[in-house]
Amino acid sequence: MLSLYVGISAQEITREAYNRFRITSSYSINSVGLEHLTLEKINGDIALNSDNQKQIFIQETMAINAVTEENALSLYLDAKAVLESSGNEVHLTGQNLPHEILESNYRIILPPNFEIMADLTSGTISVDGFSGALLIMTKLGDISLSKISSRTIASTLAGDLYCNNISGNTTFSTTAGNIKAEAIKGDLDVSGEGTITIDNVYGRTISVHTRDGDITVGNVNGETQLKTLKGDILVENLEGNLDLFSSNGDLSLRNINGDILGWTKNGGIIGQQLAGCFNFETVSGDILIQKSWDGSVSGHTIDATTNAGNIFLELPEEFPADFRVEVNNPEVAPDEAIISDFPLYIEATKISAVGTSEVPGKPLKVNLSSSFGKVIIRWSEQNFPSRFP
């Protein structure tokens, strides 16, 4: 390993208070033959930006608790990061900072094709404008990424993660924080323990998992899987099949062009403008669905089950389906538990009601099951506003 540090190319020392100094050092390195940057054990905030110049610029700033300038400089020289090179790689390695170092931060400018690996002890990191692969990890701090066109992996143990304008397959994770990803072209894998927001994503597969938070997804094209153990899920404008799960929360869907599998243990399900097959189940909650139909006679099977709640379904009047509707222990009189604009033959007992199509043999299937509730099926009227509740 060859040390690049032979002297500080520029240094500024400023006294900010009686016992506080700020020291800034700058380095400029010829980037010819260099392709990788590795950051390790850095304590402090880092801003990484790209520039087409054939130079690497690194600026290190530390705020230091000291009485004299000499003491401040001595503390800085012991604490400053070590800059080295090996082959085509540049390494910047942080030191253990004494308590006199109140803060540290770094500004780094690289050619845009650099590959970057950052493993930080603490501090936020922002990365803007690179086409090389990124691997960003911090134990304590936020991560912000923008204008990246490469494979990207980013994780923080305790912090938020934000990315915008990424082209390439992407993996994000945080143990304690929120995630927001916008304008992604490529497969996306996101996991965390907080709120996750995804918008404008085009990929083959999109996977979003959180242990404790809401998931909001909009304007997505791709096979999508969403899972939260404690939170609501909201999806709008999705092209592709959708698989969603919540242990404790509501599912809200709008304008979905694909097949849907949705399950929640304790929450309601509401869907509008659903174009494909769907299978919904909730242990406790209402299901309210407005179905879109393109006139085809395949790909529109409907299954909905609630173990404790009502079902409302709105369908085009011409929807060619066989119906089977079952209500157990209804909240109203059994002969009032099923209300349908479609002609159904209904059999009611003291504790249940079952409705089936009067004229069976239609190409599509609708299966609805409710306990401790009721089922309402309405025609949607093409030239009038929806009767969706």
Whether the per-residue pLDDT at 345 is higher than 70: the answer is yes
Secondary structure of residue 69 in the 3-state scheme: helix
pLDDT, residue 141, reads: 93
What is the spatial distance between Cα 389 and Cα 384, in angstroms, rounded to a whole number?
14
Q: What b-and-e string marks burial along 9-41, b requiring 16 or more CB atoms within 10 Å of the CB?
A: eeeeeeeeeeeebbbbbebebebeebebbbbee
Q: Considering only CA atoms, which of 46, 44, 5 is closest in space to residue 28? A: 5
CB-based contacts of 385: which residues, under 8 Å, 6+ apart?
A: none
Can you tell me the mean pLDDT for 344-367? 92
What is the spatial distance between Cα 139 and Cα 339, in angstroms, rounded to a whole number?
57
CA dist 71 to 6, 67, 74, 261, Å?
22, 7, 5, 65
DSSP-derived secondary structure for 206-260: EEEEESSS-EEEEEEEEEEEEEESSS-EEEEEEES-EEEEESSS-EEEEEEES-E
Q: Considering only CA atoms, which of 248, 244, 308 is closest in space to residue 274? A: 244
Secondary structure of residue 75 in the 3-state scheme: helix
Percent of the chain with pLDDT over 90: 85
Whether the per-residue pLDDT at 207 is higher than 50: the answer is yes
What is the spatial distance between Cα 226 and Cα 233, in angstroms, rounded to a whole number?
8
Q: What's the whole-number average pLDDT of the chain?
A: 93
Q: Considering only CA atoms, which of 106, 17, 10 is closest in space to residue 60? A: 106
What is the spatial distance between Cα 122 and Cα 124, in angstroms, rounded to a whole number?
7
Whether the per-residue pLDDT at 234 is higher than 80: the answer is yes
Q: How many residues does the chain have?
A: 389
* Span 300-317, pLDDT tens digits: 999 999 999 999 999 999
Percent of the chain with pLDDT over 70: 95
What is the spatial distance between Cα 233 and Cα 270, in angstroms, rounded to a whole number?
11
What is the spatial distance between Cα 224 and Cα 242, in angstroms, rounded to a whole number?
5
CA dist 285 to 6, 19, 255, 259, Å?
69, 62, 22, 22
| CB-CB contact of 86 with 1 (8 Å) | yes
How many CB atoms sit inside 10 A of residue 219's CB? 16
The CB-side HSE value for 241 (13 A sphere, CA atoms) comes to 11
Can you tell me the mean pLDDT for 24-51? 94
Q: Considering only CA atoms, which of 339, 287, 292 is closest in space to residue 311? A: 287
What is the spatial distance between Cα 6 and Cα 312, in angstroms, rounded to a whole number?
75
Which residue ranges make up each domain of the chain? Answer: 1-118, 124-250, 268-389
Q: Considering only CA atoms, which of 165, 182, 33, 56 is closest in space to residue 112? A: 56
pLDDT, residue 298, reads: 83
What is the spatial distance between Cα 22 and Cα 63, in angstroms, rounded to a whole number?
4
Whether the per-residue pLDDT at 143 is higher than 60: the answer is yes
Using H for helix, E for strand and C for coil, what is the string for 308-375?
CCCEEEEEECCCCEEEEEEEECCCCCHHHCEEECCCEEEEECCCEEEEEECCCCCCEEEEEEEECCCE
pLDDT, residue 6, reads: 37
Burial class (CB in 10 A: 0-12, 13-18, 19+), 281: middle
* Span 151-203, pLDDT tens digits: 999 999 999 999 999 999 999 999 889 999 999 999 999 999 999 999 999 99
Secondary structure of residue 79 in the 3-state scheme: helix
Whether the per-residue pLDDT at 1 is higher than 50: the answer is no
Burial class (CB in 10 A: 0-12, 13-18, 19+), 298: exposed
State the pLDDT confidence band at 271, using cuts at 50, 70 and 90. very high
